[in-house]
Amino acid sequence: MTTRKITVAAVQMASGDWDFQRNMDRAERLIRQAAARGANLVLCPELFMMPYFCLDQNWRHLDLAEPFEGNASIAHFAKLAGELGIVLPIGFFERAGNAAYNSVAMADADGKVLGVYRKTHIPDGPGYTEKFYFTPGDTGFKVWDTRFGRIGVAICWDQWYPETARSMALMGAEVLCFPTIIGSEPHSAEMDTAGHWQRTMQGHAAANMVPVVAANRIGSETGLGNGNDRQQALTGTFYGSSFIADHTGAKLAEANRTDETVLLQSFDLEVIRQDRQSFGFFRDRRPDMYRTLLSSDGQHVRPDLRPAG
């Protein structure tokens, strides 16, 4: 029987240094560690090169965004991917004209950058004020043909939406990657979403019969406050709990909530493909019955989105 093996890695790390080079050096060390242990695909957390500046609303942070084209940081990690022969999603804060995006550039194992994905769903709440900084993504969901398989990548808040995972699966994704930043809720100290967060992505793996890799941040970070008022600055503590699930949703590898970690797991994509086909989940779909998904309120579908006929 034909086999198509892939070993995936989830990197769990802190990125709270305002000296961005330290974050990049830390990521490179862990990426090299994963590759040395046999990883073909290495996933770091969301925006791993910089602190999570979205803890508060400070217009100065908008100056951190850099264009996709000619981006030296992307070029550095793409070169690393080529050196190590790995597939490497690279999270970055993107500037495009007057818009700014939370983005991922996809580097293949030869070091070539295949394209960019811009985060579709943008959250807004205490400690996660991303709508102040990020324009909702306009790339649509993305999957890429890489040396080691067809890989789909979405970003953090995207992972809460089953439409994200299903879209990438329909586009042929064989592995789903979710780089994230999530942890404490400043408005509710007793609220802990770690289990809910994991189970949501485990459900994506099970419903689409595709392995899932989730890489989260660790550590505590304090924002710079709104404007010049540091006394109003919020602190976020990120709960790690990165994991890898198989195509049935079972967790095969899991990190704790505090430690820098590299998780690895191997899969045979050909065996998974046969399992996925045999279950008939995609054969038995009824897209013609899903019109409510094209509405916000479950009733009113925009005329330009209505099926013909």
Is 156 tagged catalytic? yes
Is 46 tagged catalytic? yes
For residues 37 and 87, give the distance between their C-alpha atoms in angstroms, rounded to a whole number: 14
For residues 287 and 119, give the distance between their C-alpha atoms in angstroms, rounded to a whole number: 25
Please name the residues in contact with 38: beta carbons below 8 A apart, sequence gap of 6 or more: 7, 264, 266
Over its C-alpha atoms, the chain yields an Rg (Å, rounded) of 19
Query: CA geometry: angle at 28 spanning 21 and 88, to 5°?
Result: 115
Active-site residue identified among 44, 54, 94, 119: 119
For residues 148 and 150, give the distance between their C-alpha atoms in angstroms, rounded to a whole number: 7
Is 119 tagged catalytic? yes
For residues 81 and 113, is the Cβ–Cβ distance under 8 A? no
Q: For residue 47, give both structure tokens.
A: 């925006």
- CA end-to-end distance (rounded Å), the chain: 45
Active-site residue identified among 44, 46, 54, 142: 46
CA–centroid distance for 214 within its chain: 7
Active-site residue identified among 44, 54, 156, 177: 156
What DSSP state is assigned to residue 306?
A: S
Please give the positions annotated as active site.
46, 119, 156
